[in-house]
Structure 1
Amino acid sequence: MGSIWDSSLYSGTRAGLKFMGQWPFQSPGRNKFLKCMWILFVGSIYLPKFIKFVESLNDVDLVMECMPMLCCHGIGIIKFINWAINTEQMKHLLVKIERDWESLKLQRDIDLLIVFTDRGRKINRIYAMALYSVLGVYLVSPGMPKILDLLLPRNESRPRIFLYQTEYFIDQDKYYMHILIHAYLTVPVSVTSIVYFDNLFAMFINHTCGMCEILKRHLEDLCDKTTSDNRTTGYYERIKLCATLQTNIIQFIEDLESSYSVALFLIVGLNMWLITLTGMMGVVKINEPSEVIRFTVFNGGAIFHLFWSSWQGHNLIVQTESVFISAYQNEWYRIPWKFQKMMLPFMMRSITPCRITAGKFYYMSMDSFGVAMRMTMSFFTLLLSVQ
């Protein structure tokens, strides 16, 4: 049997990580080369953007126009750096996924994990399509003046639209097409980092949820699955299996939390700021339809990105809470007393659902998403009043 990573369940995420040099099971030399290429591409656009931002510090409107794309690239950079720093931890998590697949003996358990993994793969595909659609709308915005010149001609051509503010220390009107092509080559690289970082995160979450569902089924069947000829051995072995599954799940979540927590904290903060700024720019440029469309779509993408990350954490909370419910609803009080005592530590560990946090401050959940959106709207209202 080949590796689980060769299956269609993981092929998309694996291909994306290989492309960016972040797949830990390919040669280190190849990974280093691809990482350097990524840094070269993103750095070549981030530097002129940052120079323009510094030069524009005295112009509030221009600063606000520079900030959204700086935040977008910043999110991509944070995710990429987090991968690079935590390569060994990521590899450790992937090895644990392989271990879990190999440890499953019952076909029912394997089918359950396949269902969760395949569902996550399909949802990841929808997420990627949504973000790349936002990117597509953003990238076609410079062509809107040309389209409007054809549909609603004027006596003079409409001014050109730059994809974002940059400073190359050259005549930007003269080299407009060169700058635009450079943007078209580099922006998708940052977005790809965001997409596959989130796909990998979702893959870890879905795997954990699948293992929790397997644990639930074993808990629910605890009293029914024991054999009549040797009930003592049957109870012991099944409680031991449930305890092992729970321990592996908790350790996996702890490792996942330590690998992502700091990066998620920075990403959530930048994401909230990005939502505020793009919403503000949509209002400021209300008289420029193409710009309004661009920043409105960008704003929707930023909201969707924050929602997606929070929703993944919320799924984990719900699934681990269901383990607690199953532990108390499996008629455990009907089994012999000595085995009831073995269940007590298990049930105590199930009381508190497992969570993924952003820097220990922000729980990745839908409740936190609602709080973040309210804070973002407050920032937006404040900036709008200042403007």
Structure 2
Amino acid sequence: MSFSIVGEHSCNKLEFKNIKDPFIDGQYKLNRIDASILGIWPEQSLFWRILLPVLHTLFMTTIIIPEVRRFIQVLDDLDLFMECVPSFIIIFAAGLKLYTVSLNNKAFTKAISKMRKDWKRFDNPITGHVMYKYAAIGYKGTFIYQALLYGGVFMFITLPTMPAVLDIIIPLNESRNRPPLFETDYGVNPDDYFVLIVFHAFICTMQLIHTFSTVDSLVFIMVEHCCGLFEIINVILNQFNDETKNYTENEQCKIICYAVDVHRRAIDFATFIESTFSNMYGVIVLANMLAISMTGVMIVVEMNQKDWGSVARFSVYCVGTMFHLYANSVPGQQLYDHSEATYNAVYNSNWSMLSIKAKKLIGFMLVRCAHPCKIAAAGFYEMNMENFGSVMQTSMSYLTVFTSMR
């Protein structure tokens, strides 16, 4: 449905950029490249979409096998057992994210196609400004998220090398303890092959973090696009609050019908996000809760043993897990807030100036807006900041239980 918003709008042309394809010449280009490296970009050929995820899985198997060997060895030692579990969790979570996108290729192809159509459809001084604004938010948000994620990983992977460096700079009568990145058993003396083991763990860690950052960034970009659609509805309906404009009944109905159409597109896009990632988020929340609890226990254990290197390692892991859960909760909160804001925009519009026919149309929209969009993990847990706090409290409760079991 073609539509031209009535009235004029002053827009700084330096702020608005006409982006024909945000995934090629716009803000999302780097995210498309990251997804292509993993083989989860929907528009890649079938060959690469099969080969790259399989290669990722095979490569991660090279760290899973030594971890399983170590896991079997320490089944009778609760402390060592709990040291092994977090690494299994992060590998499993990364694989889950990777294959959630990979196996929903057709749905993601349609979603990206809709995003491109929206960019073309809303290419005008008002709605185009909104689209660019939320694209910029998505780009900056993913950049900050990835910077913090890789910054934390850099701290994590440098910890095992610090004792070796200190042995050179400030040598002692004996070598310092060298904590591993992962609890593994390669069947060789770890001191003799320390460099190779650390290098292998480093490559695996970077592969895992790349998967996390790529999939999470893709979700964040789609949520921001959906939020932009809700904001466009607010812009359209705010025209009724301009008392200097006298719209005819036909113009009123056109404006409302256009808002209803955009609202439908926003709801469909939000439904796609929830249905695609619901089960994934359900598992991620439970896995993060378990990882936070177990790493918290290990921090307490290592503090009692005064092993400060291990304390630092588990602290970085624990904080990183909390940050990951927080970053996955933010998009759900944003989606809820923007869809709820649409309800307020409909409710606060100038009803008195509308015709009876227009009031009936906007009334139907108000009924649908009464149920804000959300992202429900596994259908029972809403991804928002309130529930993030509840998960943190539950994790602390589990930490207490695990500590008492020792």
Common fold by TM > 0.5? yes
| Counterpart secondary structure, 1:360 | coil
The answer for the alignment partner of 1:218 in structure 2 is 236
Q: Does residue 97 of the first structure (1) align with residue 115 of the second (2)? A: yes
Q: Which whole-Å CA distance do the structure 2 matches of 1:13 and 1:315 have between them?
A: 20
1:226: how far off? Answer: 10
Q: Which whole-Å CA distance do the structure 1 matches of 2:243 and 2:121 have between them?
A: 19
The answer for the alignment partner of 1:5 in structure 2 is 23
Q: 2:368 aligns with which of 344, 349, 373?
A: 349
Q: Which whole-Å CA distance do the structure 2 matches of 1:342 and 1:383 have between them?
A: 57
The answer for the alignment partner of 1:40 in structure 2 is 58
Q: Which whole-Å CA distance do the structure 2 matches of 1:141 and 1:21 have between them?
A: 31
The answer for the alignment partner of 1:255 in structure 2 is 272
Residues 366 and 332 (structure 1 numbering): CA distance in 2 closer, same or farther, change over 3 Å? same
Q: What pairs up with 1:61-140 in 2 under 5 angstroms? A: 61-140=79-158
The answer for the alignment partner of 2:77 in structure 1 is 59
The answer for the alignment partner of 1:195 in structure 2 is 213
1:81: how far off? Answer: 1.4
| Counterpart secondary structure, 2:39 | coil
Q: 1:365 aligns with which of 379, 384, 393?
A: 384
How many residues align? The count is: 386
- Provide structure 1 residue ranges, at least 5 long, that are not aligned to the other structure: none
- Which amino acid in the other structure matches residue 128 of structure 1? Q
- Which amino acid in the other structure matches residue 369 of structure 1? F
The answer for the alignment partner of 1:338 in structure 2 is 357
Q: Which whole-Å CA distance do the structure 1 matches of 2:296 and 2:170 have between them?
A: 27
| Counterpart secondary structure, 1:171 | coil
Deviations 1:339-375 (A, max 9, x none): 1111111000001111001101110101110110110
Q: Which whole-Å CA distance do the structure 2 matches of 1:66 and 1:150 have between them?
A: 30
Q: Does residue 236 of the first structure (1) align with residue 253 of the second (2)? A: yes
Q: 1:181 aligns with which of 169, 176, 199?
A: 199
Deviates more, 1:242-251 or 1:331-340: 331-340
Are 1:262 and 1:359, in contact at CA under 8 Å, matched by a contact in 2? Answer: yes
- Provide structure 2 residue ranges, at least 5 long, that are not aligned to the other structure: 1-18
- What is the RMSD of the two structures over their aligned residues, measured on CA atoms? 1.8
Q: 1:280 aligns with which of 297, 304, 322?
A: 297
- Which amino acid in the other structure matches residue 124 of structure 2? L
Deviations 1:195-241 (A, max 9, x none): 1111011001111111111111111113649975x712211111110
Deviates more, 1:267-276 or 1:159-168: 159-168
1:161: how far off? Answer: 2.5
Query: Taking structure 1 as the reference length, what is the TM-score of the superposition?
Result: 0.95
The answer for the alignment partner of 2:176 in structure 1 is 158
Q: Give structure 1 regions of 4+ aligned residues with deviation exceeding 6 angstroms.
A: none
Q: Which whole-Å CA distance do the structure 2 matches of 1:112 and 1:2 have between them?
A: 15
Q: What pairs up with 1:200-211 in 2 under 5 angstroms? A: 200-211=218-229
Q: Which whole-Å CA distance do the structure 1 matches of 2:340 and 2:169 have between them?
A: 57
Q: Which whole-Å CA distance do the structure 1 matches of 2:240 and 2:260 have between them?
A: 12
